[in-house]
Chains A and B, each alone.
Chain A
Amino acid sequence: MSHALFITASYALVVIGFGALVVDAARRHAAAKRLLAELDPRGDRP
């Protein structure tokens, strides 16, 4: 296994890990905002 593969694997893991976190946070945020707008249309939120 060449050194380039170790470097690529390290960066790929970090990108996948943080990418999953960002996507999950965005998905939760969007879902919560939509549901909150349905339940409380005149609610106090940004």
Chain B
Amino acid sequence: MTAKADSSPSGAAPGARSLHRFANPGRFLRASARVQLWLWVAAALVLGAGLVWGLFASPADWQQGETVRIMYVHVPMAWLAMGGYTALAGASVMSLIWRHPLADLFARELSPVGALVTALCLATGSLWGRPMWGTWWVWDARLTSVLVLFFLWLGHAALTRAFEDQERGARVGAILALVGIVNIPIVKFSVDWWNTLHQPASVTRFDAPGMHVDILYPLLTCALGFSLLFGAVVLARTRAAVMERRIRALQLARARREEALGA
């Protein structure tokens, strides 16, 4: 890497230096174009295989019957809601400490997608709960903490768009994201800390998964497929946002030129 190409602040950590390379919009767009293509292809293949496996080739549960198939969409949405929020907190740290412009755009584009997967987690959970528990909703610790997570996503999406100065909106959004990260362990351990109608963890346990491999493997395949799709969507939105920022800058420059010519 030449000194000219490296736009990082002097004295920055090596990781931060390599990340600052992508603050250049042209470089980011070129590098991400190839990654994005592979992400779409991998997401289509893995998710297609996972959904066919889960819907048609995996067995029904001895207790829940066919309704267990809702798990193949509900659980990946729950994992993405929490994993995505952790990524949002990571981007917020980068934004606040290194003032990385791409981290701001990534966080801004991530929050509507995170809000949607959290809403889908709540909706599919409700559709699973009605036939299994006999109710659409209960105010137990797991369901309530996921609802709080949904409001955090919505709050971040709204805050980052509420300021005319986008940088200021990004700072305020980053602070909210970092305050809200405390909710993630609450979501995860709510089923252990409180007595909930929601079942305790059955896949991410410290000892061993509490389900048969005929159900576990299609679930993990669906989770990987949805994660790839989530990544592809967020990357595509971030690429569009980078181009839109460039468009605004060009339009502003053109307006200034025309104003100067007119004066």
Question: Helix, strand, loop or mixed for chain B's interface?
Answer: helix
Q: Is the CB of A11 within 8 A of B246?
A: no
| Partner of A26 from B113, B117, B131, B236 at Cβ < 8 Å | B236
B135 contacts the other chain (CB 8 A): no
Interface residues in A19-35 by Cβ distance below 8 A to B read: 21-22, 24-26, 28-29, 32-33, 35
Query: Of A14, A29, A32, A44, which one neighbours B120 at CB under 8 angstroms?
Result: A14
Given A7-B70, A46-B29: A33 and B251 interface contact (C-beta under 8 Å): no
The range of chain A's interface size is 20 to 34
B240 touches A9 (CB 8 A): no
Q: Count residues of chain B with CB under 8 A from any CB of chain A.
A: 38
Quick check: which of B61-69, B145-153, B203-211 contacts chain A, the rest being far away? Answer: B61-69
Nearest B residue to A22, CB-CB: B233
Residues of B within 8 A of A28 (CB): 237, 240, 244
Q: Complex Cα distance A11/B67, Å?
A: 12
Q: Write out, one digit per residue, whether chain B residues 165-198 have a CB within 8 A of any chain A CB (1) or not (0).
A: 0000000000000000000000000000000000
Q: How far is the CA of A1 from the CA of B51 in the complex (A)?
A: 23
Q: Is the CB of A25 within 8 A of B236?
A: yes
For the complex, is B250 an interface residue (Cβ under 8 Å from A)?
A: yes
Interface residues, chain B, CB within 8 Å of chain A? Answer: 26, 29-30, 33, 51, 55, 65-67, 69-70, 73-74, 77, 113, 116-117, 119-120, 123-124, 127-128, 130-131, 229, 233, 236-237, 239-240, 243-244, 246-247, 250-251, 254
Q: A17-B119, A24-B237 are in contact. List 19 more A-B contacts (CB 8 A).
A: A1-B131, A4-B66, A6-B70, A6-B127, A7-B70, A10-B73, A10-B127, A11-B51, A13-B120, A13-B124, A14-B124, A21-B113, A22-B233, A25-B237, A29-B236, A36-B246, A44-B26, A45-B26, A46-B29
